[in-house]
């Protein structure tokens, strides 16, 4: 608290903060609070867009060699996501091109991490999350909890995520429009991996074809987290399913730390 007070006083002196600006800031924060609810935290978006979330993750999450890099959690994680059997289609009716994702979760010694609980959540092809739609009416989509077997392997179907802007209806977007106007996020899947004896890993996998990899509004991209979402014409998918139209596949292995 002493450090915070020192720096906030220093900030006010540096910008010669006026009463009018101070009052605006208080009202802005009050309005931001009204945009906080399960599955949507406006203060999270402020933290993300100011780079504070990634700074905190980077200094708080030790990364041994070969371990998967952690990233910010973002504003759209829901606890108690719908549970699916491994291999299921988790899209829940979300619009988009079918995508099959698979990989193995290992520890830093290369051993599979058994019984990992995986939360995965992502946008549909409009760039929207289920929590930005009417969740009560339409239910969850492109969101799941999956659990690996002893082999640490995961695989599921969903739809291809796309680039999307920071939510347009809150207060954080006004800050971005008034400053950098950098409001886009490159297409990605969010993952949270939890396993006994291992540090919980929250991360993203980004689409290497996105135009916004170098301008992520919330600074989440790391080169090691960029993957190839491979396009296929109609044919046989990795799980043997016959696809009558185009689809994408993603192969990505995770490494958790003890």
Q: Which CB atom, from 99 or from 104, has the smaller least distance to Fe ion?
A: 99
Q: Which CB atom, from 74 or from 152, has the smaller least distance to Fe ion?
A: 74
Cα–Cα distance between 70 and 53 in angstroms, integer?
11
**Minimum CB distance to Fe ion, residue 20 (Å):** 36
Q: Give the three-state DSSP class for 33.
A: helix
Question: What tokens were used for 36?
Answer: 């906080």
**Minimum CB distance to Fe ion, residue 183 (Å):** 13
**Minimum CB distance to Fe ion, residue 80 (Å):** 19
> Do residues 135 and 93 make contact, with C-beta atoms less than 8 angstroms apart?
no
Q: Which residue of this chain has its Cβ atom nearest to Fe ion in the complex?
A: 74
Q: Which CB atom, from 74 or from 98, has the smaller least distance to Fe ion?
A: 74
Cα–Cα distance between 124 and 74 in angstroms, integer?
16
**Minimum CB distance to Fe ion, residue 3 (Å):** 31
Site map 58..87 versus Fe ion, x via CB under 5 A: ----------------x-------------
Please state whether 96 falls in left (phi above 0), alpha (psi between -120 and 50) or beta.
Answer: left
**Minimum CB distance to Fe ion, residue 115 (Å):** 26
Q: Which CB atom, from 74 or from 167, has the smaller least distance to Fe ion?
A: 74
Q: Which CB atom, from 113 or from 227, has the smaller least distance to Fe ion?
A: 227
Q: Which residue has the tokens 């991209």?
A: 221
Q: In this structure, what are the phi and psi dihedrals at residue 55, rounded to the nearest 5 degrees?
A: -60, -45
Site map 158..187 versus Fe ion, x via CB under 5 A: ------------------------------
> Do residues 108 and 66 make contact, with C-beta atoms less than 8 angstroms apart?
yes
Measured N-to-C along each axis, helices 52-60 and 42-49 cross at an angle, to the nearest 10 degrees, of 80
Interface with Fe ion (CB under 5 A)? 74
């Amino acid at each position: 608290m002493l450090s915070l007070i020192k720096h906030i006083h220093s900030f006010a002196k540096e910008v010669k903060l006026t009463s009018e600006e101070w009052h605006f800031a208080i009202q802005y924060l009050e309005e931001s609070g009204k945009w906080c609810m399960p599955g949507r935290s406006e203060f999270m978006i402020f933290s993300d867009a100011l780079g504070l979330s990634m700074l905190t993750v980077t200094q708080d999450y030790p990364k041994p060699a070969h371990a998967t890099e952690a990233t910010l959690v973002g504003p759209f994680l829901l606890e108690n996501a719908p549970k699916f059997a491994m291999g299921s289609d988790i899209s829940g009716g979300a619009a988009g091109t079918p995508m099959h994702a698979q990989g193995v979760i290992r520890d830093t010694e290369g051993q599979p991490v058994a019984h990992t609980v995986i939360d995965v959540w992502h946008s549909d092809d409009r760039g929207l999350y289920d929590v930005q739609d009417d969740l009560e009416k339409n239910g969850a989509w492109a969101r799941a909890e999956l659990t690996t077997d002893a082999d640490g392997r995961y695989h599921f179907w969903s739809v291809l995520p796309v680039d999307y802007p920071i939510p347009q209806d809150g207060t954080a977007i006004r800050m971005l429009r008034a400053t950098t106007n950098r409001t886009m996020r490159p297409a990605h899947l969010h993952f949270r991996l939890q396993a006994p004896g291992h540090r919980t890993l929250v991360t993203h996998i980004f689409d290497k074809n996105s135009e916004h990899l170098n301008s992520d509004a919330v600074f989440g991209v790391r080169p090691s987290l960029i993957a190839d979402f491979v396009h296929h014409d109609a044919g046989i998918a990795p799980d043997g399913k016959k696809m009558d139209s185009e689809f994408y596949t993603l192969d990505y292995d995770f490494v958790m730390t003890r």
